[in-house]
């Protein structure tokens, strides 16, 4: 699936980030980081840098457990079984933290995150 990094950047700026796009960004975060330094097209290079920095900030805004799960699975690219062992979590717990983190990231990105009760 080919994705236009400039289109993704516009989606983020317009607060229209969807789950499918966020997951695509997370799965390709290292590639996007590389594009931020290696692309020749200045607009695409700036867009890649913006997307990478924005998603990195979103990850940093997560509570500690959720951030750790997202960084382990997507930034460090660990397999689920390895992540389970290194984080000392069951698959269900890992999945629960991942789902919560994705929801929170989308809420922050789109301005729809509610204050916790």
Q: With cut-offs at 50, 70 and 90, classify the pLDDT of residue 114.
A: low
pLDDT tens digits for 94-108? 999 999 999 999 999
pLDDT classification of 65: cutoffs 50, 70, 90: very high
| Radius of gyration, alpha carbons of the chain | 15
68-77 confidence digits (pLDDT tens): 999 999 999 9
How much helix, strand and coil, in percent to the nearest 5, is found in the chain?
A: 75, 0, 25
Q: What is the mean pLDDT of residues 113-117?
A: 54
């Amino acid at each position: 699936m080919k994705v236009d990094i400039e289109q993704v950047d516009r989606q983020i700026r317009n607060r229209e980030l969807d789950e499918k796009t966020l997951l695509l960004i997370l799965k390709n975060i290292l590639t996007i980081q590389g594009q931020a330094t290696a692309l020749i097209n200045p607009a695409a290079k700036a867009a890649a840098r913006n997307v990478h920095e924005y998603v990195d900030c979103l990850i940093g805004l997560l509570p500690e457990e959720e951030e750790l799960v997202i960084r382990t699975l997507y930034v460090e690219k660990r397999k689920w079984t390895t992540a389970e062992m290194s984080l000392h979590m069951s698959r269900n717990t890992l999945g629960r933290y991942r789902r919560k983190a994705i929801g929170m990231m989308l809420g922050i990105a789109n301005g729809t995150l509610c204050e916790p009760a």
